[in-house]
Structure 1
Amino acid sequence: MNNYIIYEQPITENVRNFLKCEYLDEKFNCAVKQHDMWSIKSSISTLIEMSDFIFRINIKIELLKDLEKNLHLLEILKKNNSIELSDYDKFYTEMQSNIDKLNSTDCSPSRSITDNDFLMQIKSKSHIPAGDNFFDMPSYLNFLSSNKTFILENINNWYSPFKPIFISSILLLDFKRTISKFEYFSSNDSYFEMKLDKSDKTDLVRIKLEKNINIYPDISVNPQNINIMFKTSYGANRQSKPIEEKLDFGISLSNIK
């Protein structure tokens, strides 16, 4: 059982986008696996959210650049004996495969949503509180009441164009997490500061804390420092305040090479 929470703070825009892709993919897969009507409805809402997010950015180009860059980094790590051979083989194979898949994908995966009148009708109602109800959209209830195999086939077809983007994003994040090890520190009170090496370009900060201690990090980063304010929540309104006690925690930095 995992006794820790890992909080992640993206520093660069591309890592922020990769984390958003991972978040959307996890939300979609969690919902679609449940098979009940409300979970399926949630998975469709997430598909629409995916489409809106991907439509706004050219993430395919970002992913291809990062995959190529990290293939080069893999070779450096292997040469320096800084990565397990099994990890090297795994990441090298998967990165090459994802580069090929991205290069063969449509530049506009959102079209699987935007070209679908049924889904766009749902989207047009979703910004209204309770707008995606069944009495205003009987076609939605009809779809959700269909055979489960039919429903999942449609949903997976709508999701399929996004899959290479989300898999590549998750792969890059897994690589960053694998090669960035935790170091452990103690803060005497709520505030912790770490100086950064000017030659390093940090793109992801990860903080490891024990579970069930009701403490979380508020992280800010600039080119010289990482600043962390550890806070706790209290009361029915979950108000926040800095902690006063000593705290042991882990910190991991992913750097752009």
Structure 2
Amino acid sequence: MTLYEYPCNERVRILLRLECLFDRLFFFAQGEDARHHQVAMGTLFDILECLDRTDIKGSVMQDLDRQRQALLVLRGHASVDQTGLEKTLADIEQAIAALSSQGKIGQALRDNDWLTSLRGRLSVPGGATQFDMPSYYAWQQKPIEQRRASLRDWVAVILPVFQSLSLCLRLLRQSGSMADAEAAQGAYQHMLGGKVQQLVRVHVDEELGVFPEISANKYMIWIRFSCQDGEMKPQQVMRTIPFRIALCSF
């Protein structure tokens, strides 16, 4: 089964984009080749760009606090796993404390003149060549462990926001239960009945050779299944497609 996720608001959209960027950052930071680390550096600056454009810190802290208040009322309920509940509450407290202890997320990276210069160079296609920035080329020639150590230090500056948004997305995903559904003639509609949803999750059997194109507003969710032709152009399918769907909201 292949999982597709669709954010129903801009806040969740940004969290998913940051999650994707952090995943790429961690993967390439563990590489050995200097070109892997160049991708990691570029991704690090992409994350900073996202953090510059929106108040992720405040948004995530509000979501976590809202979840904390909702979970606190479940203490003592016989039907609730109290051990798991206390673990989740402790994770939320730790994440909020880590964010609260920092000023503007990533400020130490912005204050580093060398990183600021490199950020500008990497924004230009092919702009990080040895003649553009010899100091960066020299860093690329250092032993692997030295480069990894540098990357770990830089990533550590923004790690609290990753840990917090990961927890926020985990709680959001856990709020929805998967249910079986069918898209007649490749199309599916779900009326929301006034309930606000934040994330749509769709599981599709990869052997069906289709993918969902999802859109949503406060009234309805639309899913249209398509396949790809030889040039990768989406083509809507006109047969019944079985799939699984979960609607998630805090």
Query: Normalising to structure 2: TM-score of the pair?
Result: 0.93
Q: Deviations over 1:189-247 (max 9, x none)?
A: 1210011131x210111111112433111111111111111111111x21111112211
Match of 1:146 among 142, 145, 149: 142
Unaligned runs of 5+ in 1: none
What is the correspondence of 1:1-257 to structure 2 with a 5 Å cutoff? 4-76=1-73, 84-107=81-104, 109-198=105-194, 200-235=195-230, 237-256=231-250
RMSD, aligned CA: 1.8
Q: Is the 8 A contact 1:183 1:250 kept in 2?
A: yes
Percent of residue pairs identical: 23
Counterpart AA for 1:240: P
Quick one: distance in 2 between partners of 1:82 and 1:243? Answer: 44
Quick one: distance in 2 between partners of 1:87 and 1:5? Answer: 28
Quick one: distance in 2 between partners of 1:82 and 1:26? Answer: 35
SS in 1 for 2:197: strand
Displacement, 1:46?
0.9
Q: Is the 8 A contact 1:205 1:254 kept in 2?
A: yes
Q: Is the 8 A contact 2:4 2:203 kept in 1?
A: yes
Q: Is the 8 A contact 1:6 1:208 kept in 2?
A: yes
User: Which range moves more in the overlay, 47-56 or 118-127?
Assistant: 118-127
How many residues of Structure 1 are paired with residues of Structure 2 in the alignment? 250
Classify 1:6/1:79 alpha carbon distance in 2 versus 1 (closer, same or farther; 3 Å): farther
Classify 1:93/1:137 alpha carbon distance in 2 versus 1 (closer, same or farther; 3 Å): same
Quick one: distance in 2 between partners of 1:80 and 1:228? Answer: 38
Q: Deviations over 1:122-159 (max 9, x none)?
A: 22222322122223222112101112232222212212
Counterpart AA for 2:193: D
Quick one: distance in 2 between partners of 1:172 and 1:119? Answer: 29
Classify 1:208/1:86 alpha carbon distance in 2 versus 1 (closer, same or farther; 3 Å): farther
Q: Is the 8 A contact 1:180 1:252 kept in 2?
A: yes
User: Which range moves more in the overlay, 110-119 or 155-164?
Assistant: 110-119
Counterpart AA for 1:249: F
Unaligned runs of 5+ in 2: none
Question: Post-superposition, which runs of at least 4 consecutive aligned residues in structure 1 deviate over 6 A?
Answer: 79-82
Classify 1:252/1:79 alpha carbon distance in 2 versus 1 (closer, same or farther; 3 Å): farther
Quick one: distance in 2 between partners of 1:72 and 1:22? Answer: 25
Counterpart AA for 1:34: G
